[in-house]
Structure 1
């Protein structure tokens, strides 16, 4: 894929396999997220990607500076803007995104910070929706952890950009009954009963 321009510079993302290689020696949980998580769940490419997202627990975010020593780290602070994230600086609770790149190169990787309480993940979309951290993801045959597709689709249900609808359509056939039921409940509790994905999700639940 050709690099993609943004107001903050060019994106040329690394692959999920390269992400797994970067994190191979670090003992913190992480998951490929975004559209790549959907592709890893369905087992084949779905669409082009302009970036790559990795979900990381907020409590573990200092590890990024260890894993990517020699890179630049930029925090979305305030959201919608980027500023340098200084070495050793604890990021405030309102920062959820970190962009990373080797010095003087395109952006390679974006981290999405998620909050926890005890051993539970808490959704930023709706704090009443939470899951055990140990149950957040799955792993490919070659060892790449990725966010469960129903959880990723819940994140995508808010914006419903064209690419989110593409990802939903691709993931729908691989969602088991319990995964569909989870997503129906999460969307209904957060976005109401009129969300357009609900009809397709419930078609096989009756």
Structure 2
């Protein structure tokens, strides 16, 4: 098995560089993670160690063609990586794909894989949390797709790290009432005692 960089070694692409790499791919994708929150608010407040992109499982296999020459690794829980060859269906329990070019000594891009049920996106954290695929993202003025901030905060809520708490402190007060209601409903269903439900906004 080929070796890969240490899990913590990153040289992440910028969101605009991600868009350039995926420019020829027709599959839906959205910038996720902390970058998605910054794109939603139009400003930055902290550095980023990596870059996350959300894709949907039915199109995940197309990433091999979308990123020719890249190495794609499946993150097999609970924390091991293995090469993911073209033509192999991504196992249902795998929700992360780590990517790098052979010339890079570090990871450059991480895809998070969510499922769909007909026209509905379903959260990899809890399939009861769902929404129309067409509604889960927004676009910047120059067309860069990103995950809606309330959905990204839902993902950060399960085991929040210090950077997640920072993000929530910045973003929660900026959410509109509909977004706050969506997040509250999702947390009520999955983490009913979560502190972010009580955060002022």
Q: Does TM, scored on the shorter chain, surpass 0.5?
A: yes
Q: Tell me the residue number matched to 1:125.
A: 125
The whole-number CA distance in structure 2 between the counterparts of 1:181 and 1:9 is 35
Confirm whether residue 68 of structure 1 aligns to residue 67 of structure 2. Answer: yes
Q: Structure 1 runs of 4+ off > 4 angstroms? A: none
Give the CA deviation at 1:9. Answer: 6.0
Give the Cα–Cα distance (whole angstroms) in 2 for the partners of residues 18 and 64 of structure 1.
16
The residue correspondences of 1:33-72 to structure 2 (distance < 5 A) are: 33-72=32-71
Note if contact 1:79-1:95 (Cα within 8 Å) is conserved in structure 2: no
TM-score of the superposition, structure 2-length normalised?
0.93
Preserved CA contact (<8 Å) 2:95 2:124:
no
TM-score scaled by structure 1? 0.91
Q: Give the match for residue 183 of structure 1.
A: 183
Q: For 2:173 and 2:196, locate their aligned partners in 1 and report how far apart those are by CA, in whole Å.
A: 13
Change over 3 Å in CA distance of 1:118–1:184 after alignment to 2: same
Counterpart Cα distance in 2 of 1:158 and 1:7: 25
Q: Which runs of 5+ in 2 are unaligned?
A: none
In 2: Cα distance, 1:137 partner to 1:79 partner: 28
Q: CA RMSD in A?
A: 1.3
| 1:99-118 deviation line (CA, Å, top 9, x unaligned) | 00000412110000000011
Q: Secondary structure at the match of 1:185?
A: helix
Q: For residues 122-161 of structure 1, what are the structure 2 equivalents within 5 Å?
A: 122-161=122-161
SS at match of 1:154: helix
Give the CA deviation at 1:23: 1.5
